[in-house]
């Protein structure tokens, strides 16, 4: 099953699940949860592991991504 999944998606099941969890964490953070709360809600009991996994997927820490997103939103609202 794992081999077929990787052939079809190009990623392992664990990588795929981690991507889903991190994507959901971003959604929770955007809805007002803290990074630690979002990590726990998507199943990461260890914040440091969540942060390392998140950085592997997105290339930056959760804090950096949130700051980047906030900056982008602020610039968009200033243009309007």
The CATH number covering residue 53 comes to: 1.10.10.60
How many domains is the chain partitioned into structurally? 1
For the question of whether the overall pTM of this predicted structure is more than 0.75, the answer is yes
pLDDT at 53 over 70: yes
Please state, in angstroms and rounded to a whole number, the distance separating the CA atoms of residues 57 and 18: 8
Spatial contact of 54 and 25, defined as CB atoms under 8 Å apart: yes
SS3 for 47?
helix
Residues 13-44 as b or e (16 or more Cβ within 10 Å = b): eeeeebeebbeebbebbeeebebeebbbebeb
Is residue 73 pLDDT above 80, yes or no? no
- What range does the domain containing 69 cover? 2-79
With tokens 């709360």, the residue in question is 37
Give the pLDDT band (50/70/90) at residue 78.
low
């Amino acid at each position: 099953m794992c081999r077929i999944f990787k052939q079809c998606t190009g990623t392992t099941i664990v990588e795929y699940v981690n991507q889903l969890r991190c994507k959901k964490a971003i959604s929770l953070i955007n809805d007002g949860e803290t990074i630690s709360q979002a990590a726990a809600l998507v199943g990461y009991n260890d914040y440091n592991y969540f942060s390392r996994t998140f950085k592997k997927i997105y290339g930056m820490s959760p804090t950096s991504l949130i700051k980047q997103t906030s900056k982008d939103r602020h610039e968009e609202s200033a243009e309007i």
